Structure formats: C-alpha cells, structure tokens
C-alpha cells in the first residue's frame, strides 16, 4: 500500500485591500463545504505563506490520501455546492489563483 500523498498546489496572490486572515477564513469554509464531496473525507488544506522575502504570494495546498480520493473529488466537483462556493469567492476578488499542479509526495526515511 502506498504511503504517498497526492498534493495539489495553487499559487495565489492576495489582492489589494484583503488580508491573510480573509484567505484563512475562506479555506475553513472551503474545507467545510468540500466534505460533501466523495473523496474529501480525508482532505487536508494548508496555506503556505512566504516569510522571506515577504510578499502577497501564497500557496493553497490540498492534500489527498490517494489518487483515487483526488479523482473522486475532481469528478464530483462540477455542479457541486463547493463549485458554487468557489465561483462566489472568485467574484469577491479577495485573491487570485492560477491553475494548480498535482504532485505525488513521496516520504523519505533513513530506514
């Protein structure tokens, strides 16, 4: 059984007049809404903030336990309440994100 996780990273910029806290609140609501979609039961969300040098750039990181979970999630996303939530957030213009890449995250151990 694979211990690899599947990580999707969306590079984003916080738009003028908005804050990191706005984005944190959005991610909490996103995760709550995402739970209604198959494959999102073990979904984790992370925010990567640049600290050196500081900038308005930020990464939204979605972590899935498997490609199967990610596949179910992406298959069920269109037309879901989460998609409506995402569209609403885009209209608010708090941040701008570009397309995310999916990564196979492989743990490295000394064993």
Would residue 39 be called left, alpha or beta, if left means φ above 0 and alpha means ψ between -120 and 50 degrees?
left
Q: How confident is the model at residue 60, as a pLDDT?
A: 92
pTM for this predicted structure:
0.83
Cα→Cα distances 91→15, 31, 86, 88, Å: 12, 19, 9, 5
Q: How confident is the model at residue 18, as a pLDDT?
A: 87
- Kindly report, residue by residue over 12-42, the tens digit of the pLDDT: 888 888 888 988 999 999 999 999 898 899 9
Averaged pLDDT for residues 39-48:
92
Task: Report the mean per-residue pLDDT for the chain.
Answer: 88
Q: How confident is the model at residue 25, as a pLDDT?
A: 92
Here the tokens at position 111 are 């064993």
In the predicted model, is pLDDT for residue 1 greater than 50?
no
In whole angstroms, give the CA distance from residue 25 to residue 92: 13
């Amino acid at each position: 059984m694979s211990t690899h996780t599947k990580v999707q990273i969306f590079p984003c910029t916080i738009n003028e007049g908005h804050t990191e806290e706005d984005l944190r609140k959005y991610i909490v609501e996103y995760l709550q809404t995402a739970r209604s979609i198959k494959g999102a039961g073990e979904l984790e969300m992370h925010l990567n903030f640049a600290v050196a040098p500081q900038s308005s750039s930020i990464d939204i990181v979605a972590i899935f336990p498997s490609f199967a979970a990610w596949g179910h999630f992406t298959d069920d996303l269109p037309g879901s309440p989460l998609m409506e939530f995402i569209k609403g957030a885009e209209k608010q213009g708090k941040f701008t994100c570009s397309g995310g890449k999916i990564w196979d995250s492989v743990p490295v151990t000394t064993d």
